[in-house]
Amino acid sequence: MAECLLPLLLLLTGLDLAFVHATGAVDLRLLLPMLVLTAAAPWLRHLQRHFTYRLLWNGGVLIAFALIVQHATTTGLVHMLEDGLALAVLCQVHLLNNVGARQRPDLVFFNSLLVAFVTSLFAPDLTWSLLFVLHALVLVPSLELHAVTRGQSCLTRAAARAVVRGSLPHAVAVVLATAIVFVVWPRDFQRRGWFNELLEATQQFASGAAERIDLEHENGAPLSDAVVAQLVPPSGRAEDVPSHWRSTAFSTFDGAAWLPQDASELGSRFATDPAWERDRSGAWVRSLAETGLRRVRVRLLDGSQRRLPSPLQARRVDLQQAAGLLVDPRSYGGLGLLRLADAPAGALEYTVECSAARVVVAPGARARQHMTALPSSGVPPFVHDLAAQLRRDLPAPDDQLSLALAARDWLSEHRRYALPGTPGFAQNLGEFLIGTAPGHCEYFATALALLLRSSGVPCRLVGGYLAHEWSAADRAMLVRGRDAHAWVEAWLPDGEWLTLDATPPADVLADSRPTNSWWGGVVADLELMWATVTGFDAGQRARWLAALVRFPQEHALAVASLLVAAWAVVYLRRRRRTLFVVQQLHRAARNAGMQLRDGETPRELLGRAVLSAATPARLAALRAAALAHERARYMKPGDREP
Amino acid sequence: MRVRLRPTQLGAKGLLLLLALIAAFLATNYNNLFFLLIVFCTTVGGLGLCWTWGNLRGVTLLRLDAPPGPAGEARALGLELGGRRPRAVSVALLVDGEVVEVGDRLGFGSAEPAPLLPPRPRALAQITAVRLTSRFPFGLFRARLDLPVAAELVTHPAPAANHHGHRRAAHTATDDDDGDQPLPQGRRGSAVAGLRPFRSGDSFGDMHWKATARRGVPIVREREPEGDLRCDLVLDRRCPEQRFERALSRLMRDLAALRGSGRSLVVHSQGGGFVARDDRKSELAAQRWLAATTSLPAAAAPPPHVSGAERLPRSGHGGRHG
């Protein structure tokens, strides 16, 4: 390997360390020694010729490897990611320090790509993307220098610089081509992958497709960018779309998990919510006052959904195509969905009519008891202390509405939000409640529900989607897989169901992050831009292509100008090339002591030069210049050389 | 002229990695960053393929000078490529079907050394093509372009040490004096006819040092020849290989000594011979004959009898073959 390649390999390894650091999964104390070994590689490599050093180095690598593996196997799945990434960068540093006579740089390139790939699954999108652009701008020149120096171990420094300089246009072209293909290629957010489908089928068979919220086994929810549903208000205004769309309600907490609301425990199927009935037109209706009605057309894109998400105040649900579909009114006021064999594949459309009226159902004693039940274990003692504290701070301690709002606000203000899988995420509900670790919406909702139930306020946990991403182009609210959410519905003494969402909205809604500084604004803009790219779907693609087709018609002058400019560039380049060979001919003639006469051809000039006293070297230069001139002026593409 | 492409070892491994990535991508949920990585790898591969092909596309051969040279010595070639200027190419010659590497061309504006033909054995060979190979730019694919050419590669025997004592031969005499004894030749005259550039075989005694210093190239005195202007030699090819080669080396030395002397050398042998005079054309023909000739078995016909001509090899006329 040529020495001149080493600085680029060093940069590549440094970027790999940055990739891993961006995930936040590996402690900086572990990455720093790797960084030092990377920076010292130019000197350490020279020691590789000593047997003792090689023994020490390889022994050290083996020991580090064994320690990481031992750590991974003894600390459980929690540290698997951390250990895996640490192992990947350890390999990269080891390869870098051994590259040379024994080790070709091929593995350094491949391992670098693999590190980029693995970290793409965990690092923040924007950070990873910026690092990836840098990575591409280093990887391409590295490959090019490696290809050029393959046969030449002693490339001069100037030549190496020339190669790297020459490779930069290639690197930029690769990045641009990647960006164009990435943006223009249609997305397939609905694809789940054969492995996932296989896994899902197995799980469904094993669990009977049971739905539950398990707080102790958070392996990271699949934060898919896929658009699950489009909510289209006929008015075209975002304000007309309710934010919380319910899928399932959970009313039983066993200390570790929330279980779906079961009518058999309530004594009556519709003991908690107004019952759904089918009207003559086939739509599903329930008895809510017809005040302030708003309609939303829902396009459910996720074909695997077994619920028809709807807001708490949904009054009427009308399926567009009911053939092959069975709607099941659930005890919590939602609608389940069964797909028969002849069910239409793909998207499903239905219209939801929402009322502005309160949802009121007089609570029965049994239902009330069920909704305030706490498990004998699994509830952190801090819950009761905190609930008592909140009650004490209220002007009217028995006011359940005030208590519910106070508990929601307290959690929202005093507890931090984080997604599962991110560094420092709470290992259990206790950690989150005490405040030592951040948690996600399920922790916020559970904490709020436990606070309310410990104060005797009936409530349940609801799972569904939070609609917040308004697409001005579609005039619709987009609901993505990552918008899955959990919140609480409290049952007030007068029988009203009240939606309470304790999760800090600024953390959940990507577009409502505070931008206090110019840098924050830039980051927010970049993230918004990136969200446009990641959310680029078939509809947007069709609009872009249509705009591309319309562009020449609408901007004929601009297109004509562009074409003329392109032609001018080609013409000038050709002319410059022709001028160059003429200049070369004149220069060669001058060097040979000759002067091109009027009307004299280069061949005639050459004939005169042969008879003159020009040295062989200058004569050869003149011959080459004359030939180049002939080729540039008179040869057409495809002509054979004379 | 078609550019042939094939993946390199690095390219083949890269292709496997890409296939593995695509398989993993299809097996799991759609992921944008995963997709971005696959697009990047594919773009590098696709553009690398196009650029590797484009690097050699349109390259033509303007000139190939393969001057005759002595066996066992490297020699510089004259090579001029036309059309597109390729980058990072390895240049090789196809000599009688054998690929002979002659050097690399970086093509990044730096000074390019002349291609150097490695030492070759005495032979008359045909150059059928100039082969350009390049991995530029990413090393994922190797492009190969054969530029057909019809040229002779004359590798004549290395001249034996001349009679002034400095060594030029690859072989040394061992048990006889075939390589050391000069042929009888006309004495060099004392009258100086003029000055000319030094040529292989010239005596150092004839060096004109002042002119050499002034012009920057070795210059020797040209002397008027005296005495006998023609020398006849009989080469008996029925001899062992080693002795035969030594005899050829000596002939080569005498051939070099002809330059500027005004004399001629006539070599008679089985199946013909050559006449070398003090001109470039006959010298090239003699070199060609010396490059192509081979030894004969002991049972072969004897060489023609020429009265007064010296026989080579001196101490044998066959029978000790092998």
Residue B54 sits at the chain A interface (C-beta within 8 Å) = no
Give mean pLDDT, residues B23-41.
84
How far lies A480's CA from each of A127, A465, A483, in Å?
Answer: 21, 8, 5
Give mean pLDDT, residues B156-160.
86
Domain final position from A554, A576, A604? A554
Chain B residues within 8 A of A629 when measuring between CB atoms:
none
Look up residue A612 and give its amino acid: S
A174, part of any domain: yes
Dihedral over Cα of A441, A446, A449, A455: its sign: negative
Q: Count CA atoms within 13 Å of residue A340 on its CB side.
A: 9
- From the list B26, B35, B139, the residue facing A193 with the nearest CB is B26
**Is residue A213 within 8 Å of residue A258, measured between CB atoms?**
yes
Same domain, A370 and A315: yes
Contact B27 A196 (CB under 8 A): yes
DSSP state of B207: B
Res A452: pLDDT = 94
Res A636: pLDDT = 59
Contact B34 A117 (CB under 8 A): yes
Q: Is the pLDDT of residue A310 over 90?
A: yes
For chain B, the domains span 1-156, 157-186+229-322, 188-226
Same domain, A161 and A218: no
Give mean pLDDT, residues A374-396.
87
Give mean pLDDT, residues A242-267.
86
- From the list B43, B106, B136, the residue facing A177 with the nearest CB is B43
Res A444: pLDDT = 92
Give the model's confidence band at B40: pLDDT under 50 very low, under 70 low, under 90 confident, else very high: very high
Same domain, A363 and A432: yes
Q: Is the pLDDT of residue A633 over 80?
A: no
Q: What's the domain range around A48?
A: 3-184
Mean pLDDT comparison of A78-92, B41-55, B227-241, highest-scoring range: B41-55
Res A96: pLDDT = 87
- From the list A117, A174, A225, the residue facing B44 with the nearest CB is A174
Residue in chain A closest to B80 (alpha carbons) equals A624
Give the model's confidence band at A525: pLDDT under 50 very low, under 70 low, under 90 confident, else very high: confident
Dihedral over Cα of B306, B309, B310, B313: its sign: negative
Same domain, A349 and A464: yes
Percent of chain A with pLDDT over 90: 20
Domain final position from A184, A215, A247? A184
Give mean pLDDT, residues A66-93.
79
Residues with Cβ within 8 Å of A599's Cβ and at least 6 positions away in sequence, in order, are: none
DSSP of A37-100, one letter per residue?
A: HHHTHHHHHHHTTSHHHHHHHHHHHHHHHHHHHHHHHHS-GGGHHHHHHHHHHHHHHHHHHHBT
Give mean pLDDT, residues A490-506.
88
Res A345: pLDDT = 67
Q: What is the residue-averaged pLDDT of chain A? A: 82
Same domain, A470 and A547: no
Which has the minimum average pLDDT: A225-239, A536-550, B26-40? Answer: A536-550
Residues with Cβ within 8 Å of B75's Cβ and at least 6 positions away in sequence, in order, are: B67, B69, B116, B117
Res B51: pLDDT = 93
Give the model's confidence band at B168: pLDDT under 50 very low, under 70 low, under 90 confident, else very high: very low
The minimum CA-CA distance between B43 and chain A, rounded to whole Å, is 6
Q: Does residue B35 or residue B322 have the better pLDDT?
A: B35
User: What is the tens place of the pLDDT at every residue in B185-234?
Assistant: 445 556 777 888 888 777 888 889 998 998 888 898 887 666 557 788 88
Percent of chain A with pLDDT over 70: 85
Q: What is the residue-averaged pLDDT of chain B? A: 81
Residue A181 sits at the chain B interface (C-beta within 8 Å) = yes
Tell me how many domains chain A contains.
4
Question: What span, in angstroms and rounded, lies between the C-alpha atoms of A194 and B24?
Answer: 10
Res A201: pLDDT = 54
Residues with Cβ within 8 Å of A2's Cβ and at least 6 positions away in sequence, in order, are: A145, A149, A152, A153, A154, A155, A160
A572, part of any domain: yes
**Crossing angle of helices A106-120/A80-98, nearest 10°?**
160
Res B172: pLDDT = 38
A230, part of any domain: yes
Query: Which of A475, A556, A462 has its CA nearest to residue A502?
Result: A462
User: What is the tens place of the pLDDT at every residue in A325-335?
Assistant: 888 888 888 88
Q: Does residue B253 or residue B169 have the better pLDDT?
A: B253
Res A292: pLDDT = 85
Look up residue B9 and give its amino acid: Q
Give mean pLDDT, residues B125-135.
91
Mutate to test the interface with B, among A5, A170, A183, A189 (most CBs of B within 10 A): A170
Q: Does residue A262 or residue A313 have the better pLDDT?
A: A313
Measure the CA dihedral A472/A473/A475/A476, to 10°: -90
Give mean pLDDT, residues A161-169.
86
Q: Is the pLDDT of residue B184 over 90?
A: no
Give the model's confidence band at B299: pLDDT under 50 very low, under 70 low, under 90 confident, else very high: confident
Give mean pLDDT, residues A118-144.
86
φ, ψ for residue B76, nearest 5 deg: -80, 140
Same domain, A549 and A568: no
Residue B131 sits at the chain A interface (C-beta within 8 Å) = no
Q: Is the pLDDT of residue A220 over 80?
A: no
Mutate to test the interface with A, among B8, B18, B37 (most CBs of A within 10 A): B37
A283, part of any domain: yes
Q: Is the pLDDT of residue A209 over 50?
A: no
Question: Tokens at residue A353, please?
Answer: 């009519």
- For chain A positions 138-157, those within 8 Å of chain B (CB to CB) are 139-140, 143-144, 146-148, 150-152, 155-156
Question: What span, in angstroms and rounded, lies between the C-alpha atoms of B217 and A465?
Answer: 90
Question: Tokens at residue A295, please?
Answer: 């309609």
Same domain, A175 and A238: no
Res A74: pLDDT = 73
Same domain, A161 and A307: no
Same domain, A603 and A466: no
Chain A residues within 8 A of B51 when measuring between CB atoms:
170
Mean pLDDT comparison of A158-162, A535-539, A580-584, B1-5, highest-scoring range: B1-5
Same domain, A346 and A408: yes
Percent of chain B with pLDDT over 70: 84
Contact A120 B135 (CB under 8 A): no
Same domain, A269 and A139: no
Same domain, A129 and A248: no
HEC per residue, A3-36: HHHHHHHHHHHHHHHHHHHHHCCCCHHHHHHHHH
How far lies B212's CA from each of A614, B195, B203, B217, B260, in Å?
Answer: 19, 10, 14, 5, 18
A191, part of any domain: no
Q: Is the pLDDT of residue B37 over 70?
A: yes
**Is residue B237 within 8 Å of residue B300, measured between CB atoms?**
yes
- For chain A positions 199-228, those within 8 Å of chain B (CB to CB) are 222, 224-226
Give the model's confidence band at B50: pLDDT under 50 very low, under 70 low, under 90 confident, else very high: very high
Measure the CA dihedral A66/A72/A74/A79, to 10°: 150
Q: Is the pLDDT of residue B248 over 50?
A: yes
Point out which residues pair with A464 in neighbouring strands: A246, A485
Question: What span, in angstroms and rounded, lies between the C-alpha atoms of A48 and A243?
Answer: 63
DSSP state of A103: B
Mean pLDDT comparison of A434-448, B168-182, B184-198, highest-scoring range: A434-448
Residue B317, judged by CB atoms within 10 A of its CB (0-12, 13-18, 19+), counts as middle
**Is residue A558 within 8 Å of residue A208, measured between CB atoms?**
no
